[in-house]
Structure 1
């Protein structure tokens, strides 16, 4: 019995040495045999050679190989920027602690989404990214801003990146939507500093709805003289010209200030 066991071990050792002597091809065949599952779609091209992501007998080397490919995340960790750099728990953490793989082509390596499977659900603190979720953004679905086939860092951070199709101004007011709009209530919480225009709002003008002076969301080229809006209400029928403010104030059209000319 002892002799047969020794012979069996010798045969196994011979097979192993034969495989190892073939170097990379034999190793790839063996690793493919024990691979736990297909890589995600983004890593599919790396699947032919396990050494792209693993070093034999060294789990600790895997994160270094991750950083070699994911240079932006590596830079964030080094500079203290981005999500990886801002989150203190990321420092010294193995990449595989958060990023899964060998889970199939159609599953994400970032398991920060709602799922019935607890292995695919993990809380994510968006305040540590370059775009903190405020107001209605906190209720938006992840896929509304993050395309599954793109890295998380590719998501737009400027308002117009997501809201270009919803822009009622058709780009006429530029792309800095947050200058006037709030993420709490995009339509109701609107604050525009009219003092930066040629027509600061004072008196009763403060209470006038925007569309009264800007029909069809047209802003550029709007007339600023009184007659442009009040011409139809002019009781003088144009007899005193268009400079209504020479006699009338903005608090009330009534009670005109008469300016008598000196003889």
Structure 2
């Protein structure tokens, strides 16, 4: 199309739209803000935010987009998030959009946990806080050590600086026997370690990694557990006397046993 026709077409198109606008009754759906918002909507909101579908300004700020301040208006006092250890970090974070994605459809869950992003946000906050420069330097030093060679292939150097225990110590099945640097063995997308191979079934050092349940430190152990295994004189720290490495419930001489 030539420049001449382009220059003619633009004002003509604008004129047609203006004429249509003026000819349309004021109460027409076409003239309602919600109608124009729907035209620009990239996709349906999740069920949790569906009630905001006709109110873009509840989340979006003109020119700037989604701002954290808009999220805080609704979620600042969400005790179910702030009082649970795995999610309490939200009280100190000042960015939401990296992990909470919307307009993905009604059935979508607007949460995508990305530990690399969390580390990036944390480092950015430390950089902006003059009182945290020493901590920032320490973490950057750690990242520098791991850069290109993180603790293992399933974790990035940025993720390695996160303090896993802050969110997950209540889930620590090792009872801190291995310390709190979970990233040395675990990945951020799963706790299981496919490469892990249990030591020989003949090992007698179970207590180095395992701690007996509370019931084993009561009369329950001598009265029931030790007798079921046929080891009435076994000590609580002698796991190998009763248990097999296939499962805690696989008892030597008794087979699969689950008392409770």
Q: TM-score, normalised to structure 1's length?
A: 0.39
Larger radius of gyration: 1
Q: TM-score, normalised to structure 2's length?
A: 0.39
**Bigger strand fraction:** 2
